[in-house]
Amino acid sequence: MEQYRNMLNLTDKNAVVIGAASGIGQQGAYGLAGAGARVWCADLNEAGARQSAEWINEQGGNATAVGVDISKKDSVVSLFDGVLAEGQTLDAVVVTPAINVRKPMLDISDDEFSKVIQLNLMGTFRAMRESGKRMAAQGSGSLIALSSIRSQVVEPGQGVYAATKAGILQMVRAMAAELGPQGVRVNAIGPGVVETPLTAQIKSQPDWYNAYAQRNAFGRWAQSSELAGPIVFLASPAASYVTGILLLVDAGWTAIDGRFSPPL
């Protein structure tokens, strides 16, 4: 029975959350700390990362804030080497940062395309590569990258963002196959509509916001805190035989056909 009680226990584990200053990354850091992990709250926004770490410590958890710029290899290498120097093992890594340019494909400039690709896809790749190397060397670890429902379905104005999220999913699948023999699990989470700083533009427009809410089975948006559970699950022993998946957390968005409920 004890092994089942401890399925979600991350005591003595070291977790790094990139993007921990706000949104899903912040709530993921809170959830991992609540499960017992020592958490490194990493973000380009160092002040925000410190606030997240301070909150965890005030609640009796164990967190350290650190700055990281995933657009720079040296910064990512320094992050993971620093964690290993202090914590001995790199048990879980969560990669969340993303940006979006909402425009029709024909209106997106080369610079805008490059900006989204460089952060969402290239930045995530750097974090996955550097953490994956270290996990493979130690023979264990759980790597979790944030994809999206947009890796599966798309809408006007989301073409480049969707391409990056689909690319993240395919990198996850490839790394799961490549690193499985070394004991490393690699998975993606695909959120639906979540209230985060990235979606503030939609929340400010009630018609748009409500249309998205009615598109899923629950008729509402997710709160960032509702992504903490899936993150903890994938990081924990409960997911010991789970790798290479897209865990959709979308209130049925991708399961429901159409925007009209016919009379039955």
Q: Which residues are catalytic?
A: 161
- Helix (H) and strand (E) counts in the chain: 10, 9
Which residue has 């990362």 as its token pair? Answer: 49
Q: What distances in angstroms separate CA 17 from CA 31, 202, 239, 250, 257, one per listed residue?
A: 11, 26, 18, 21, 34
Which residue has 């200053």 as its token pair? Answer: 21
Q: What does the block give as tokens for 245?
A: 């998946």
Beta-sheet strand order (sheet of 14-18): 62-67, 38-43, 14-18, 92-95, 141-146, 184-191, 246-249
